Amino acid sequence: MVTHHVGPGFQHGVRLTCGPHKETKTTKKRSTRIISKRPKLLGRILPQVPSAIAESLPPSSLRPATAGASRGAAMASPPRPPPASSLAPIKVPMELHAQNREKLTHALRQHLAASSRPTHGFVLLQGGEERTRYCSDHVELFRQESYFAYLFGVKEPGFYGAIDVSSGKSTLFAPRLPADYAVWLGEIKPSSYFKEHYMVDMVFYVDEIAEVLDRQYGGPGKPLLFLLYGLNTDSNNFSKPAVLEVPLSRPSLQLFFYCFVGLWGPGMEKFDTDLDTLHPILTECRVIKSELEIALIQYANDISSEAHVEVMRKAKVGMKEYQLESIFLHHVYMYGGCRHCSYTCICATGENSAVLHYGHAAAPNDRTLKDGDMSLLDMGAEYHFYASDITCSFPVNGKFTVDQLLIYNAVLKAHNNVLSEMRPGVSWIDMHKLAERTILESLKAGGVILGDIDDMMAERFGAVFLPHGLGHLLGIDTHDPGGYMKGMEREKEPGLKALRTVRTLQEGMVITVEPGCYFIDALLVPVLENPNTSKYFNLNEISRLKGFGGVRIESDVLVTSQGCKNLTNCPRETWEIEAVMAGARWPLDDSASAASS
Ligand SMILES: [Mn+2]
């Protein structure tokens, strides 16, 4: 996925309204809500599939071509369809989160020692809370807050977690659930379950936090709590420091406590708090991935790559964009166990593929695929919090036109050039410029633009075609935090200002490489009207390509000690795409490769 809050959005600066005031709901309320809504859900009827959709997807005609290979044997018994997936959900190692905690305490101790501060205190994080749909009792499917997920791997809502900075010991605080929970929502798990399952040292209840931390500290003076508060440079939102429940029924009283008494409920006067130290250190921990994290990102990539291939195979003229989305979602969930995607699927075809973040509620992937369209499908599954973010572009009828070959290969060459240059020490800004230059050179070779490429680069002309950043860190968030650490400035120039990171690559980073080339009216028109820039266009060509849409190719790439490793495995060469769309297996076997090349 590409950029959201870049450029103008960023200039709004910090949005203080998104600070810690946002959530006031208590665990108790949540439980009551859930319980009271259940009977309604029990009576819900499954929606009927529109018959037009069912008809457009005759399952037999969409079977891979290999199904016909055993025709002779078909007389005796029906041929076995090939397995729909070669994958199955992998085991999630909770050591991953224990390692993450260890990494944090190590980094925190180092930081504190370096600034001559005492190395004791507690990291205290508040996990995410379940939300309902507006004022209704419909509970939205919960997904853990990402920093909490990183440190504790807890999938349930309403938890807090603490880490003793000096000993490294970790404690989870579980919500105290009412007895009715067992009626509507299942077994109330004992503390011992959470202790064992999440590999923490201790488990208590949320209402015991102040008492437990005070007791565990046992030293002189007040114990220090390191709370998470800091800016997400992609969204401009702030992470929310832990707030202890105020057992007051009236929101106005809660607000009073919040504003005048301090952030805390009863018992918090026992602690000192630090809002500055934790966020940058924890964010930096997330930037470099461990082996165990990489394995999960690889799995999310494997199942998502396979699902993209499945979509590619089943895409046909006359289908709806959302049917492509549906095939992807079904595949990653059915075979990969991925209940969440990392972001909303972008299934753009035709002119929609020039809308960078198509697929949102106001543009809900509902166009009919037409002969001659390109598609741009940006979809990625999430597995145990870890993301994939993959874009494939291909002609919906399975055969590239001359124009499509030109634009697609321009982007592919940019993608491949970047991969061949990526290694520790390389500047991401340079990689962006490399992608941009590659695309401009290809467009020039194809007669779409004219003039000197260096001049175009100096004038940032490439941003007309590639307005978003080349890629972003990927991990528990699709746009993983840490793109701009303290002291790193956002560039001001077109294209570069949209970069989600300006870092130098380091071993262990996972970053997306997603060059694109788009024909976006909102960008083309002003540039065509300006004589300083219109000189670069071959006007005949550009007027023909104006409705082309766009191409993006996106892979998730691990920076290794010597270079990089592409974690994504989708058909990328045009002949690979055409072969797969014609029914060839992926990866192509030797005969298919030979026939196509
Ligand atoms: Mn992306």
pLDDT of 74 reads 43
Where among 243, 266, 286 does a domain terminate?
Answer: 286
Give the domain extent around 555.
Answer: 288-596
CA of 378 relative to ligand 1 center, distance in Å:
8
pLDDT of 254 reads 53
For residues 176 and 297, membership in a common domain is answered with no
CA of 84 relative to ligand 1 center, distance in Å:
27
For residues 121 and 263, membership in a common domain is answered with yes
For residues 269 and 304, membership in a common domain is answered with no
Nearest to 470 by CA among 390, 414, 407, 388: 414
Nearest to 253 by CA among 16, 18, 26: 26
CA of 415 relative to ligand 1 center, distance in Å:
13
- pLDDT higher than threshold 60 for residue 405: yes
Cis peptide before 175 (omega within 30 of 0): no
290, 294, 296, 302: CA torsion to nearest 10: 180
pLDDT of 253 reads 54
For residues 496 and 484, membership in a common domain is answered with yes
CA of 288 relative to ligand 1 center, distance in Å:
18
Answer whether residue 61 is part of any domain.
Answer: no
Query: 65-121 pLDDT, tens per residue?
Result: 444 444 444 456 778 877 899 999 999 999 999 999 999 999 999 999 999 999 889
CA of 268 relative to ligand 1 center, distance in Å:
41
What CATH code is carried by the domain that includes residue 186? 3.40.350.10
CA of 358 relative to ligand 1 center, distance in Å:
13
In which band, very low, low, confident or very high, does the pLDDT at 550 lie, cut at 50, 70 and 90?
Answer: very high
CA of 390 relative to ligand 1 center, distance in Å:
7
Longest dimension (CA), the chain: 84
Query: 277-314 pLDDT, tens per residue?
Result: 999 999 999 999 999 999 999 999 999 999 999 999 99
CA of 342 relative to ligand 1 center, distance in Å:
10
pLDDT of 596 reads 54
- CA 500 to each of CA 241, 343, 466, 480: distance values in angstroms, whole numbers, following the listed order: 24, 16, 14, 9
For residues 225 and 368, membership in a common domain is answered with no
CA of 473 relative to ligand 1 center, distance in Å:
9
What CATH code is carried by the domain that includes residue 477? 3.90.230.10
CA of 29 relative to ligand 1 center, distance in Å:
37
Number of independent structural domains in the chain: 2
CA of 4 relative to ligand 1 center, distance in Å:
11
CA of 552 relative to ligand 1 center, distance in Å:
10
For 535, the token pair is 């000189």
CA of 434 relative to ligand 1 center, distance in Å:
18
Query: 219-256 pLDDT, tens per residue?
Result: 788 999 999 999 999 999 999 999 987 554 455 555 55
pLDDT of 213 reads 95
Where among 286, 315, 331 does a domain terminate?
Answer: 286
584: exposed, middle or buried (Cβ count in 10 Å: 0-12, 13-18, 19+)? buried
CA of 514 relative to ligand 1 center, distance in Å:
6
State the chain's mean pLDDT as an integer: 87
Through-space distance between the first and last CA atoms of the chain, rounded to whole angstroms? 31
Query: 478-495 pLDDT, tens per residue?
Result: 999 999 998 999 999 999
- pLDDT higher than threshold 90 for residue 7: no
Find the range with the poorest average confidence among 16-20, 211-215, 271-275, 494-498.
16-20
